């Protein structure tokens, strides 16, 4: 039924080619201890490294206070064990504004804490910590509600990018790490903590590798990792405990996502642990440019609000197709272990009702207990979810499986235990194929 197959071989993602000298941060006048701002030292070290043809900017043990760090081609930022880069909570340090994508819409805004635009072969590696001081920015979630809608109004009205300039009083929080239009990116080994907003947000990038990274966040919208209209992204062995989704795949919001027209495709996720967060692995809801060929295997979710989550709503357009989740273990999931919802309610409203298109989704060898609900599937009446396979799935929760507006559902060796009745409920579900299905509560069909 689905295009995804367990027999496929995952590709090798090219890593950055970074060679050359080592430039120690202290050689550029940096002073540790947190009392001196080292922005000039970081900028000078990166520039010298880049001008030399590439190499490594080494950050030794100590606490190094700085403003934003802008990486350049063929530069590696290496944090030694015991090194802590602390980013200043002074908002003005992140000006002038830079080109970015903010919640799926292109604009100019505060610089991300670590930023690169149009670079090739860049890396952030080591055993140190990057500390975002995000708590200084988090109150903007509440105080900026009146102005945040402006960027969405601009996209709906087709206002030129050159006029979408924010920062200053607009209160649009920046991402922590954002390479944009970059090729061959590596983030490995570091701990990234307390972002102002989204933590690791590659945009329009190709050949991105993120592995053995520890992401910690408590504030609003502090997603862990958001590949956004990227191609060929490898995510491996990472640990997430966040204030929003742990891993969220995106591709632009509404009209601006259609205008840019860059899908997010060939995303490979394995051996990740997701703890606190709204969702473990999430696709959408900003998916207007399209999401395809996402593969996730051998991951564990423990304590997230939801596990596997695909979300969109009328007005998003775009598509999510050819996705595979396998060998996923879940426990203590507060709401749904598996949820595919085309009636998602949050986010801006488009000027049209263009529906999203979800198809060819396979979820197999998934187990879970202590769940709020096992499975919740909701397509749109006018755009039904097509070709969904649940295979070798064993889930136990307060509620069972609920499914509506699906065309082509295969249940193969599925066991659902539910504390409340019914165990399974189907509404407007056509082309249903059932093999070895077990539930301890009744099955209902409308």
Domain boundaries, the chain: 245-446
Say whether 429 sits in a helix, a strand or coil. strand
Determine how β-strand 98-102 pairs with β-strand 105-109.
antiparallel
Query: Are 217 and 195 a contacting pair, CB within 8 Å?
Result: yes
Token duo for residue 232: 């060929």
Query: Are 185 and 165 a contacting pair, CB within 8 Å?
Result: no
pLDDT number for residue 148 = 73
DSSP 175: P
User: What is the rounded CA–CA span in Å between residue 343 and residue 136?
Assistant: 33
Tens-digit pLDDT profile for the chain (446 aa)?
Answer: 455 555 689 999 999 999 999 999 999 999 999 999 999 999 999 999 999 999 999 999 999 999 999 999 999 999 999 999 999 999 999 999 999 999 999 999 999 999 999 999 999 999 999 999 999 999 998 876 666 788 888 988 999 999 999 988 788 999 999 999 999 999 999 999 999 999 999 999 999 999 999 999 999 999 999 999 999 999 999 999 999 999 999 999 999 999 999 999 999 999 999 999 999 999 999 999 999 999 999 999 999 999 999 999 999 999 999 999 999 999 999 999 999 999 998 888 888 999 999 999 999 999 999 999 999 999 999 999 999 999 999 999 999 999 999 999 999 999 999 999 999 999 999 999 999 999 998 889 88
Query: Are 262 and 101 a contacting pair, CB within 8 Å?
Result: no
Query: Are 104 and 151 a contacting pair, CB within 8 Å?
Result: no
pLDDT number for residue 5 = 52
| Close Cβ partners of 31 (under 8 Å, ≥ 6 residues apart) | 38
pLDDT number for residue 145 = 65
Place of tokens 């989204």: 198
pLDDT number for residue 349 = 85
Question: H helices of 158-313, where?
Answer: 254-260
Q: What residues act catalytically?
A: 244, 278
Place of tokens 């350049």: 72
pLDDT number for residue 1 = 46
Place of tokens 């993602």: 13
pTM recorded for the entire structure: 0.97
Superfamily designation of domain 245-446:
Single-stranded right-handed beta-helix, Pectin lyase-like (2.160.20.10)
């Amino acid at each position: 039924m689905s295009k995804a197959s367990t027999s496929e071989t995952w590709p090798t993602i090219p890593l950055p080619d970074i060679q050359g000298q080592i430039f120690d941060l202290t050689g550029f006048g940096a002073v540790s201890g947190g009392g001196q701002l080292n922005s000039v030292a970081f900028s000078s070290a990166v520039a010298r490294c880049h001008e030399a043809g590439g190499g490594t900017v080494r950050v030794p043990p100590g606490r190094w206070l700085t403003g934003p760090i802008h990486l350049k081609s063929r530069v590696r930022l290496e944090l030694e064990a015991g090194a802590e880069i602390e980013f200043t909570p002074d908002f003005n340090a992140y000006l002038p504004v830079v080109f970015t994508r903010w919640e799926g819409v292109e604009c100019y805004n505060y610089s991300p804490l670590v930023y690169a635009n149009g670079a090739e072969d860049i890396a952030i590696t080591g055993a140190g910590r990057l500390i975002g001081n995000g708590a200084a920015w988090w109150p903007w979630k509440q105080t900026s509600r009146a102005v945040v809608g402006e960027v969405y109004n601009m996209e709906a009205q087709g206002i030129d990018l050159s006029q979408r300039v924010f920062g200053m009083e607009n209160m649009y929080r920046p991402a922590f790490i954002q390479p944009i239009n970059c090729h061959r990116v590596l983030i490995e080994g570091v701990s990234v903590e307390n972002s102002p907003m989204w933590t690791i947000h590659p945009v329009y990038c190709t050949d991105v590798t993120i592995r053995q990274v520890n992401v910690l966040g408590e504030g609003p919208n502090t997603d862990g990792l958001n590949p956004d209209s990227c191609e060929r992204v490898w995510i491996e062995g990472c640990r997430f405990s966040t204030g929003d989704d742990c891993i969220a795949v995106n591709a632009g919001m509404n009209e601006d996502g259609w205008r840019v027209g860059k899908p997010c495709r060939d995303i490979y996720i394995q051996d990740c642990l997701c703890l606190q967060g709204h969702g473990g692995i999430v696709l959408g809801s900003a998916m207007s440019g399209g999401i395809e060929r996402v593969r996730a295997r051998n991951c564990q979710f423990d304590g997230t609000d939801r596990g596997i989550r695909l979300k969109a709503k009328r007005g998003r357009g775009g598509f999510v197709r050819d996705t595979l989740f396998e060998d996923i273990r879940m426990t203590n999931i507060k709401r749904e272990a598996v949820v595919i919802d085309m009636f998602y309610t949050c986010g801006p409203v488009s000027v049209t009702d263009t529906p999203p298109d979800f198809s060819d989704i396979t979820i197999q060898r998934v187990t879970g207990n202590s769940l709020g609900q096992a499975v919740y599937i909701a397509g749109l009446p006018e755009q039904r979810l097509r070709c969904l396979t649940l295979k070798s799935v064993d889930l136990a929760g307060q509620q069972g499986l609920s499914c509506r507006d699906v065309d082509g559902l295969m249940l193969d060796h599925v066991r659902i235990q539910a504390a409340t009745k019914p165990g399974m409920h189907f509404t407007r579900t056509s082309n249903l194929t059932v093999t070895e299905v077990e539930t301890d509560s009744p099955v209902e069909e409308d």
